[in-house]
Amino acid sequence: MALHSSKSSTRIDETVAAALDGLQIELPSWGFADTGTRFGKFYQPAARTIEEKFSDAGQVHKFTGVCPTIALHILWDVPEGTEPSEVKKLAKRYGVQPGSISPNVFQDQIYKHGSLCNEQESVRQHALQHILYSVRIARELGSRDITPWFADGSNFPGTANIRARKQWLAEGLKRTHDALGPDQRLLLEYKPFEPAFYHTDIADWGMALVLARAAGPKARVLVDTGHHYQTQNIEQIVAWLLDEDILGGFHFNDRRYADDDLTLGSIDPYQVFRIFAEIRFYEWEAGRRTDIAYMVDQSHNLKNKIEEMIQTVMTAQELYAKAALVDFPTLVVAQQEQRLIDAEDIYKDAFSTDVRPAVREWRTAKGLAQDPLAAFRESGYMERIVRERTGRAATASSYA
């Protein structure tokens, strides 16, 4: 028994280490800034400038070792006219590189009735020019992925020409695709509702898939875990997109009700595990890793931003490590022989395995602290930024 468990724990360590070696997670710049709800904001010494966002993201990377890039938002971080060299200087200073670039075609007043789907050609052109500008900035920054999010939609039946809007959208995305550099990608995200409450122009993965196919081979679908109806089977969508070879990326978060921006795995860690398991299953069959950009897209407003990001990364690593432990050779036999309980238990065994010792081992081997959250708390960084950003000493509530 002792022999068996020691052999098995070595296998766990090796499998987990190999899996974690291949997992990098991009941080969102907006996840370090103060955000709120429709009712108000509760402030913390969050990042106010692009430099502070790079600085805070740099801390998450420093202690986790797996977050070398930060997703940037054109209007919020890199307003038009910003010199890319200034951004590159920050990347060098804080040790995180610019990651995916999000154009902003939803905030300005001109977009009240949509951007690429707007009835007015002048607005569609305005949006397209901004997106093309974002593609150019991304190229100059060395960023690969363009991740536009379209709030386009309508709020009342009969108020929008849904088919015309689809065609305008397809046309704008094709133009965007054709402006991409050889290594760049266009990732299309979908969401069924909010801010529009009657119809959203890219409402689900099928619509995103149709648009990506129409745009061209560098366009792929981006799955945001919070952007689904309550009971939707997200891992099935993932399996289909993998099989269609068009899954480009993930936006991680969790939710209880709608697009709640809760911490990854805080509500349903088994769902995250099942998503990762579909990816690992596909990779095991294909004999190669897939090219999926894993990104966090959360900006919850009560937890300490940096600590929540570290917690998210640690959670993602643990769930990914558990998914790596699924015994796929045995699973496929159980599936073929239609042994339902055995097949299901293979999933449950992997999910129930405490991978934390193996993850800690992996961190030690990488020269990282075994507990990144504790190491961050001991580093004094929060005390320093509280003083710098508020002029006051840190209190217990600085570490919510």
Residues that bind Mn ion (CB under 5 A): 224, 251, 297
In whole angstroms, the minimum distance from the beta carbon of 385 to Mn ion comes to 26
Q: How far is the CB of 45 from Mn ion (least distance, A)?
A: 25
By beta-carbon proximity to Mn ion, the closer residue of 53 and 251 is 251
Are the CB atoms for 152 and 194 separated by under 8 Å? no
Alpha helices in 181-339 (DSSP H): 205-215, 234-243, 269-286, 305-324, 328-336
3 state SS for 175-194 = HHHHHCCCCCEEEEECCCCC
Residue placing its CB nearer to Mn ion in the complex, 45 or 249: 249
Provide CB contacts within 8 A for 282, sequence distance 6+.
Answer: 239, 242, 243, 290
For the CB of residue 299, give the shortest distance to Mn ion in the complex, in Å: 10
User: Residue 224 or 307: which CB sits closer to Mn ion?
Assistant: 224
Residue 73 or 126 having the CB closest to Mn ion:
73
Helical packing angle, 356-365 and 305-324, nearest 10°:
110
Neighbours of 104 (CB within 10 A): 21
163 burial via Cβ count (<10 Å: 0-12, 13-18, 19+): exposed
Closer by beta carbon to Mn ion, 251 or else 363: 251
Query: How near is the Cβ of 15 to Mn ion at its closest, in Å?
Result: 30
Closer of 199 and 227 to Mn ion (Cβ): 227
Smallest separation, CB 102 to Mn ion (Å) = 9
- Are 145 and 187 in contact, with CB atoms under 8 Å apart? yes
Beta bridge partners of 73: 102
CB of 201 to Mn ion, least distance (A): 16
The least CB distance from residue 33 to Mn ion, in Å, is 15
Our CB check for Mn ion shows the closer of 130 and 251 to be 251
Report d(CA 178, CA 243) in Å as an integer: 25
Q: Which residue has the tokens 């052109």?
A: 125
> Taking a C-beta distance cutoff of 8 angstroms, is the pair 356, 348 a contact?
no
